[in-house]
Amino acid sequence: MWTPIIVAGGGALFLGVLGGLMTPIGPWYRSLAKPSLQPPDWLFGPAWTIILGLAAWSAVTAWNAAPDQAARTDVVILFATNALFHALWSPLFFRARRPDWALIEVIFLWSSLVALVIGLWPISPFASLLILPYLLWVSFASWLNYAIVRLNGPFG
């Protein structure tokens, strides 16, 4: 009973901490030209905390709603794929200082979220809906990423 909660919560915590560690807000980032709709830096931590919390809730809900082991395997594959693409974006953008590469990678992250919304719907519509804020935020973040590339490129 507690295992899905511990795994999903631990996964969300891991992704949140990893994202924070991979996101140095230093001179390089501060020197980038940013679009006028760029949120303040302090907003990203609370936003990701809420989004990853909703994703963990979604994972537990979908796991518990899954009618059989095959559906549970699908839930694990969907969330693991998303976690991989989630974990790759910050190191590309901030550590490698390649917003252009991150812009390519974010397509995969966004696609993994669309796959989650679609894939979870037959298992649990509620779990699917819990992913929508994450999808909306990544859609907005993708635009921010694009704008930074457009305003600052080329990189490398």
Q: How many residues does the chain have?
A: 156
Structure confidence at residue 125 (pLDDT): 98
Q: What is the pTM of this model?
A: 0.95
Residue 112 pLDDT class (50, 70, 90 cuts): very high
The pLDDT of 108-129, averaged and rounded, is 98
| pLDDT, average across residues 60-79 | 98
**What does pLDDT average to over the chain?**
97
Average pLDDT in the 132-141 region?
A: 98
- Give me the pLDDT at residue 156, please: 77
Quote the domain boundaries for residue 65: 3-152
Cβ contact 106:145 at 8 Å = yes
CB 92 within 8 A of CB 126: no
- Give the pLDDT of residue 127: 98
Between CA 65 and CA 24 the distance in angstroms is: 39
Which one, of 66, 82, 83, lies nearest residue 74 by Cα? 66
Count of structural domains, the chain: 1
pLDDT in tens, 81-94: 999 999 999 999 99
- Chain centre to alpha carbon of residue 18: 12
Nearest residue to 43 via CA among 129, 132, 141, 135: 141
* pLDDT score at 54: 98
Amino acid identity, position 106: V
Per residue, the 3-state secondary structure of 32-99, as one string, reads: CCCCCCCCCHHHHHHHHHHHHHHHHHHHHHHHHHCCCHHHHHHHHHHHHHHHHHHHHHHHHHHHCCCH
Residue 44 has pLDDT above 90, yes or no: yes
Q: What's the pLDDT at 153?
A: 86
Q: Say which CATH number the domain at 117 has.
A: 1.20.1260.100
